[in-house]
Amino acid sequence: MKRIDFYHLQKNTLEEALPKLVQKAYETGKKIKIKVGNELRLDFINTALWTFDEESFLPHGVKKEGNAELQPIYLSSDDENVNDAVMLFLVDGATVEAQRSENFERIFYVFNGASEDELSKAREMWKAFKADDIERHYWQQDDLGKWKEKQL
């Protein structure tokens, strides 16, 4: 893996911010996996991607819909990379082990700053990737909800 970007949600909810971030990543033409912290939230995130913008379309799927390996954007709560994604989004406290992170060019760790649990997991991930000497970037929302990179 080349780099990990931490996106600290402060103004928007995950369902508001995630589709926009995924859309930018999708525009690169690379396959994406979104790993959700738990199976219960999978349908919620799936619906958010379908309904976020009437004029936009993010082709994606989940295991129960079939053809997972063909999906340009694949959502799951497990570690398998069935669509051979090179970009990984971690949401709702999802994590990735260092050995599995090597399969991705870039990881996006999106976390809710109002959740103490998610904030704690983000700090643990930051430390783990720092120990592995991986390039890390930290993004925080400004008062208008725009992403600004902060130097740490």
Token pair listed for 26: 């999708």
Read off the CATH number of the domain in which 40 is found.
3.40.50.10110
Predicted model pTM: 0.92
Question: Is the pLDDT score of 1 beyond 80?
Answer: no
Token pair listed for 131: 């120990």
Q: d(Cα 67, Cα 117) in Å, to the nearest integer?
A: 34
* pLDDT single digits (tens) 97-143: 777 788 899 999 999 988 999 999 999 999 988 888 789 999 998 88
Biggest distance spanned by C-alpha atoms of the chain: 42
Range of the domain at 23: 3-150
* pLDDT single digits (tens) 28-63: 999 999 999 888 888 888 888 888 777 777 888 888
Token pair listed for 101: 């992170």
Count of domains forming the chain: 1
